[in-house]
A = this chain, B = another copy of it.
Amino acid sequence: MLITPEDLAAIVADVGLDALMDESIEEFENALHDGDLDVRRRDGFATGRDGAAEGAAGGAGMLEWMPAARRGDTVALKVVGYQPANPRARGLPTVLATSTLYDCRSGALTAIMDATFTTALRTGAASAVATRHLADDGSKVLGVVGCGAQAVTQVHALSRVLPLSRVLAYDRDPRVAWSFPGRVAFTGLPVDVVDLDELERRSEVLCTATSVPPGAGPVLTGLELAPAAHINAIGSDLPGKAELPAGLLARAVVCPDFLPQALVEGECQRLAPDRVGPSLAEVVAGGLGDSLRGLLTVFDSTGYAVQDLVVAETVLRHARRIGVGSPLPTFTGAIDPLDPYCLVRRATSAVRAGAATR
């Protein structure tokens, strides 16, 4: 099945953004209880050598693959490009992604879909799950540091699990900050563009979602945070990249999405392994949230391939239900599995036959 951005739009139109976000939140939380999932740490190539455009945005790009498997059934592989120069240089999102699904039994490709929208969706959903378990469930004020594409789904997702009455927004680029209220207007929440000090002082829950280059962080001061604040740190996803100050990490309970990855790319890379708190899966499956809720907590969200597997499966299920998506071309006819040239000879005949009947 080939699922295009237009097919995704048809699914969103049918399901509705709120319902799709709610479903993504529930499916991800369910997956954290699922023992039949297998995940590998993200790996990738640095891709920032291209000169002017990348240099202008100050940071290098990455192209990474994120593998996850539902054992005996499906392997999902997301390839995700991170290129801070994309918005200005190309009018494209910083994060562009493609998901492919494979049948574990045969090895065949079963689906390919653009995963740019679903990456934003699932990153929001992950913060919602973390927030539901780690934040005060009466939290009304959400602060967002970094107001790019990912911040939109952070606000949307948290609005589904908290009784929010106000969003505080900060971005070091004023144009990005001032366009933010319009981009989240669909939530109905009032948004105040504020300075960082005010945001840190007034927010009960925070999300950091920046493209701060490795070595240039942190982006929060952490000086005036509420004692039981909860922070979803979603931007730290490269070695050396850090959004939170070390002093804040030292006094918080830091819950990684995927420890082996967070120790390399996440906020956890600045913590000794024995200083890292329980993983989100341990919090959720172990019901640890109640014991942590009065403390300063951090969800170290580096991006977990299970999220991508689950959201791709959700999209595929809806695509089948409403009948969108195109079949992927595959081998046709009685191929000889022992003859690789048969594949192209058969297909040649099919092409010729097709041409003759057109």
Contact = CB atoms under 8 A, between A and B. Distances in A.
Interface of A: 2, 4-6, 8-10, 12-13, 17, 38, 40, 43-45, 47, 49-50, 53-54, 61, 63, 65, 67, 69, 71-72, 75, 77, 79-83, 86-87, 90-98, 100, 102-109, 112, 114, 116-117, 120-121, 147-150, 152-153, 156, 176, 179, 183, 186, 329-332, 334-348, 350-351, 354
Given A87-B337, A152-B340, A108 B79 contact: no
B102 A106 contact: no
Given A50-B72, A63-B75, A79-B100, 16 more contacts: A5-B343, A6-B329, A13-B351, A49-B71, A49-B72, A49-B104, A63-B102, A81-B102, A91-B334, A97-B107, A114-B331, A149-B340, A152-B340, A152-B341, A176-B338, A183-B336
A45 B67 contact: yes
Contact of A148 (B81, B117, B338): B338
Given A5-B329, A338-B179, A344-B12, A109 B79 contact: yes
Contacts of A91: 334-335, 337
B61 A83 contact: no
26 contacts: A2-B2, A5-B331, A5-B344, A6-B347, A9-B348, A10-B351, A40-B43, A40-B45, A43-B67, A47-B69, A47-B105, A49-B72, A53-B105, A63-B102, A65-B65, A65-B67, A77-B77, A81-B103, A81-B108, A86-B106, A92-B106, A94-B337, A96-B106, A96-B107, A98-B100, A117-B340
